[in-house]
Amino acid sequence: MQGMKKLGASAFALLYSLSARADYTFNFPDPVTPMALDTLHVHNKFMLITAVIFVVVLAIMIYSIVKHRHDKGYKAVVDKPPSTTVEIFWTLIPFVILLLIDFVIMGIPAYHSVVMMEDTRDQSTMVIKITGSQWRWQYEYLDGDAKGIKFVSNLATSNDQLNNKEEKGEHYLLEVDNPLVLPVGEKVRILMTASDVLHNWWVPQFGSSRVAVPGFIRETWVQVEKAGVYRGQCKELCGKGHGYMPVVVNAVSKEEFAAWAGKKQEEQKAAGDVKEMTKEELLAQGKTVYEKNCAVCHQVTGAGLPPAFPALTGSKIAVGPIFGADGKYQKDSHLDRVLNGKGVMPAWKATLNDTEIAAVITYERNALGNTASVDALVQPPQVKAARE
C-alpha dihedral sign at 265, 267, 268, 272: positive
| Count, residues in the chain | 388
116 confidence band (pLDDT: 50, 70, 90): confident
Q: What average pLDDT is seen over the chain?
A: 86
pLDDT on residue 375: 85
372 confidence band (pLDDT: 50, 70, 90): confident
Asked if residue 12 has pLDDT above 50, the reply is: no
pLDDT on residue 174: 93
Q: pLDDT tens digits, residue range 148-190?
A: 999 999 998 888 888 888 898 899 999 999 999 999 999 999 9
DSSP H helices in the chain? 2-21, 34-67, 84-100, 107-118, 159-162, 254-272, 279-293, 295-298, 316-319, 334-340, 354-366, 380-387
Asked if residue 10 has pLDDT above 70, the reply is: no
pLDDT on residue 373: 79
| 3-state SS, residue 141 | strand
Distance (Å, whole) CA 166 – CA 314: 30
**What is the CB neighbour count within 10 angstroms for residue 375?**
20
pLDDT: is 311 or 98 the higher one? Answer: 311
Relative to beta strand 208-212, strand 199-203 is: antiparallel
Q: pLDDT tens digits, residue range 224-268?
A: 999 999 999 999 998 888 999 999 999 999 999 999 999 999 888
Distance (Å, whole) CA 270 – CA 197: 33
Q: What is the helix, strand, coil percentage profile of the chain, to 5? A: 45, 15, 40
Distance (Å, whole) CA 318 – CA 376: 10
Whole-model pTM: value is 0.76
Q: pLDDT tens digits, residue range 119-142?
A: 777 677 899 999 999 889 999 999
Distance (Å, whole) CA 177 – CA 338: 21
- Identity of residue 112: H
21 confidence band (pLDDT: 50, 70, 90): very low
pLDDT: is 303 or 83 the higher one? Answer: 303
Closest CA to 251 of 226, 222, 221, 220: 226
Least confident stretch, 81-90, 161-170, 186-195, 354-363: 81-90
